[in-house]
Amino acid sequence: MSPDHSFHLNPLAVEETARFFSIQRARALECLAARFRSHAYAPHTHDSFVVGTIVAGCETFSIGGTRYYARPGHLVLIDPGVVHDGEPAGDGFAYRISYPSAELLLELAADACERDPAGPPHFARPIVADAELADRLAAVHRLAEAGGDALELDEKLLGFFVRLLARHGGTASPVQMERHLLGERGPVARAIDYLDACFFETVDLATLSEVAGIPRTRLIRAMRRETGLTPHAWLTDRRIRAARRMLAEGGPPADVAVACGFYDQSHLNRAFKARVGVSPGVFRAAIGADSSGQLY
């Protein structure tokens, strides 16, 4: 848990690292990835919530005179304005933290429930054991840090926070959304048409939701039910289909990656091999044009 912008970190010790980054599309959601061996935070508060997980080691902190110990598989959940400190327990710890605003969590809760929440989220306990959500948070945090695909990040970020609020923040369960999923073929068809037409562009979930005419959470669940794929999985599959054609025509993998909307060639390589079974280069060599310029 980092202090707010008015509090300055002490110089980091040797082998300690800390990196801030933000997710602009999610109301400029601030994130911190850090590894501390000796650094200790002074008591401080945040204007935002603190939502994080320990990925290695153990962190200890105090709230209201009670000392807590956070380890891998735990979520750290602290409401705005709550005074807390933080320091390594034992040999140190590594963690990934996000700082969602109340506005962001209210927006996501309203999206999931298709109604305004009765009140702001509140986390009753600063530490909860939830290995599944801890893993989800670490994964989406890494994806955001690496600058991953926009639609994939939107899906995973929304999915994580909706489940977090349902389990630990007093928000209605996403299971309550099931009653909305019947008869969604029109919105799903609109979303698919858009993805098929714009697969080479950056696609975000908010835009796709507007095109479909239903909220983001509802769209993800409806598409999964109707097609077996989430919007991001459909988009990736559509891109791979286009990449196959371009590679068969002799297109260089690096150029194909850019033309099909992948953020680099390694991104294409991973997605292509997962669906085709071989790398783009191997596929191109086996299926590409012969010396006369004709396809095999």
In the chain, list all ranges with CATH 1.10.10.60: 181-291
DSSP structure class, residue 11:
P
CA–CA separation, 180 and 203 (whole Å): 24
Domain 181-291 coded CATH 1.10.10.60 = yes
Contacts of the segment 275-278: beta carbons below 8 A, 24+ positions apart:
275/236, 275/237, 275/240, 276/240, 276/244
Sign of the Cα pseudo-torsion (194, 196, 202, 205, in order): positive
User: Is the model's pLDDT at 19 over the cut of 80?
Assistant: yes
The class of domain 17-157 in CATH terms is mainly beta
Q: What is the pLDDT of residues 44-97, one digit of tens each?
A: 878 889 999 999 999 999 998 899 999 999 999 999 888 788 999 989 999 999
CA–CA separation, 260 and 240 (whole Å): 8
CA–CA separation, 178 and 169 (whole Å): 20
In the chain, list all ranges with CATH 2.60.120.10: 17-157
pLDDT at 183: 47
- The mean of the pLDDT values for the chain is 83
pLDDT at 293: 36
pLDDT at 186: 86
- The band of 178, judged by pLDDT with boundaries at 50, 70 and 90, is very low
User: Is the model's pLDDT at 1 over the cut of 70?
Assistant: no
CA nearest 150: which of 211, 104, 204, 210?
204
Q: What is the pLDDT of residues 225-274, one digit of tens each?
A: 887 788 998 899 889 889 988 988 889 999 999 999 998 899 999 888 87
